[in-house]
Structure 1
Amino acid sequence: MPVLIGSEPISQLPETVEEIYKSFPFLEAEALKLVQSPLRVIDKPEGVLYITQKEYAVLHSSDENFSIVGTDDATTCHIVVLVNREESSVCVAHIDSTDDLEDELARMVFDVLGQQNMKNDFPLELSIMGGYCDEMRKSEVLTLDLLHFYNQLPVKFQLKSLCVGSVNTRSSNGINWPIMYGAAVNIHSDFVISPAKVYHSTEGVFKISPFNYRFQSQMAEWALKSDDFILNNFSTSPAVEPEHFSKEMKEVFQFIIHNPFPMISIFKFNKSLKYVPSPQGQWLKL
């Protein structure tokens, strides 16, 4: 079912982001407003649900545990926001690729549809943010892949915001940088999106389903490497990553080194991990 831009379905997707902005100038104008909005600094955990890379969350406006859901540190990654006005719910996702993730991407759409399921008479509002004019064109490929994916689903979407590519790019010392690294959605204020810094809404818990990964013996060596080595070998955009990128990647390596077989040490008996939020914004394990 084609995505709607304004009242026009995009039955045939343009080949570049610039073609989209040229055909629909209001999208570029709205994107410029967004990147020029004041940056919201969220420095307290109370009422905030943070989404990291490869995660998504669906929340309802009546949720008493949270008022803000958001993510940041997106360079070539994209932030997707889906708003369901009929169910008064929102989904926020931090996506780094569509490769082999069609099932997961579809699942987040069906989660935010809720009771409507596939029979949505009213379109989901779709906003795509992040990415910039990077040298390898990874951002633009992801933008077009996402639009193509949503265009193929049997669900109605209204593209409300597309803040990507040239609109989200600034140049400094000959290097292109993203303007907007993150976004936050206020779920109690009409789902307003602001530039900024997985919760299961039906159960009221944060749930991590069992998953596996491949331990590599080189990780012990990588954890001791310089920050420059980490940036240049594990980032899609080494010149513009936040300062904490290398530190956090080394923490990931250390975690995997200490848990080489997650199905044994973390997800015992193939059980999900579940956490509930405290009033102070901390997560308590069930």
Structure 2
Amino acid sequence: MVVLVDGKPLPDLKDNNVVFMDAFYKEFDSTLGKAAREFRKKPVKHVSNKDITLYVDQHEYAVLCHDSSAVISKLGSDMATTCHIVTLYHKDTKVAAVAHFDGPAKASATDPVTKQGMTDMVHDMLKEIKLRIRMGDGEPESIIKLELNIVCGFCDKRNLSHMLSDHLLKDFETFKSPDGFPPVQFELTMFCSSKWNNKKVEPDQEEPFNCWIVGGVVCDAKTGQIMPAQFDDDARTPVIARRGARCISEVELYPNIYSVQDNCFILRPYSYVSKPTDIPQLLSLSCAELKKKISTSPNAEASGFCLYTRASLQFIQDNPDPMKSVFSVGPLKLQAQIMDELLTWQ
């Protein structure tokens, strides 16, 4: 067993997603369910660029740590509907990771892209922990214990959140450490997701629909504490349209967007896998129409969805071959700096 909840293992992984998740909710309602209900009541942290927080966009992850040389020691993400935001934390070395997983766009018994993204995130975190221990920030361990939190998602009509919850829990449970690293044990301390992050919305003269309660998270690498969060526009940086274009065009790999050693944001080169062919038409649509065309859950999208989707679509239209127009000299690297108490990227 790799994932534990107060010392208890997860239900039988052989069960299908419906049986497994039903057993999960029943088994842990008094612990994780209670924690989720309390978490949903916490005030939402409105994150601005004054908060010096690294923004992780959809289909990305980042690893960082808190120490005297770190420019940034907080990270988070938001605008998650059917998506899940995952945080990991190693208490001794103060290494933290955040990922924004979106899962497959349709029902699937397996999800190799999410599994690979999760694996890559944990591998990068283990490398950073190993480096910190060598530097004297912690003691060598026979088992590396990581605090695991899974947040966001709701009871959507297509059960995409439900399936993503199932995939992620099983992927963490079956994780195997790479050669040269101790085994990992994930201590699941928060699961405010899917069924435990759902509310019924009943608008006037419209059909009721399900919606999320918590749509974003911020994690403090100094303490490991997580809070419900919503990022201001000036905090969703840098180059958010370029990053959104990568996601829209279905590039499968989950990239690590930050170098701890260099205090540097990195956007690695990518080519579009499947870009929309009707971008001019999409850009001309109303917000409601655009949501129906692009979103997995049109009724539940965050307020900034259309603005950021249009910016990403415009970037794709203006850069039909980003390997030539954007990445001709390699990855984009931007140094994190604090100027006038604001996070900037140079």
Per the normalisation by structure 1, the TM-score is: 0.92
**Mean Cα deviation higher: 40-49 or 52-61:** 40-49
1:221 deviates by 1.9
The answer on whether the counterparts of 1:70 and 1:182 sit within 8 Å (CA) in structure 2 is yes
- Partner residue of 1:274? 333
1:1-286 aligned at under 5 Å gives the runs 1-10=1-10, 12-13=12-13, 15-24=19-28, 25-62=30-67, 64-97=70-103, 98-114=111-127, 115-116=129-130, 121-154=143-176, 155-173=184-202, 174-188=208-222, 190-197=223-230, 198-213=257-272, 214-269=274-329, 271-279=330-338, 280-284=342-346
> 1 CA distance for matches of 2:313 and 2:39?
35
For structure 1, the residue ranges without an aligned partner over 5 or more in a row are none
What SS does structure 1 have at the residue aligned with 2:158? coil
1:46 deviates by 4.4
The answer on whether the counterparts of 1:45 and 1:282 sit within 8 Å (CA) in structure 2 is no
What SS does structure 1 have at the residue aligned with 2:86? strand
> 2 CA distance for matches of 1:145 and 1:252?
28
Q: Deviations over 1:220-243 (max 9, x none)?
A: 221112212210111011001112
What SS does structure 2 have at the residue aligned with 1:59? strand
Report sequence identity in percent: 30
Q: Deviations over 1:85-104 (max 9, x none)?
A: 23220001111014424333
What SS does structure 2 have at the residue aligned with 1:236? coil
**Mean Cα deviation higher: 8-17 or 108-117:** 8-17
RMSD: 1.9
1:254 deviates by 0.6
For the structure 1 residues 135 and 158, does the alpha-carbon distance in structure 2 shift closer, same or farther, using more than 3 Å as the test?
Answer: same
User: What letter matches 1:194 in structure 2?
Assistant: M
What SS does structure 2 have at the residue aligned with 1:112? helix
The answer on whether the counterparts of 1:84 and 1:113 sit within 8 Å (CA) in structure 2 is no
Aligned residues: 281
> 1 CA distance for matches of 2:8 and 2:200?
33
What SS does structure 1 have at the residue aligned with 2:190? strand
For structure 2, the residue ranges without an aligned partner over 5 or more in a row are 104-110, 132-140, 177-183, 203-207, 231-256
User: What letter matches 1:230 in structure 2?
Assistant: L
> 2 CA distance for matches of 1:215 and 1:130?
27
The answer on whether the counterparts of 1:86 and 1:122 sit within 8 Å (CA) in structure 2 is no
For the structure 1 residues 215 and 79, does the alpha-carbon distance in structure 2 shift closer, same or farther, using more than 3 Å as the test?
Answer: closer
> 1 CA distance for matches of 2:92 and 2:194?
31
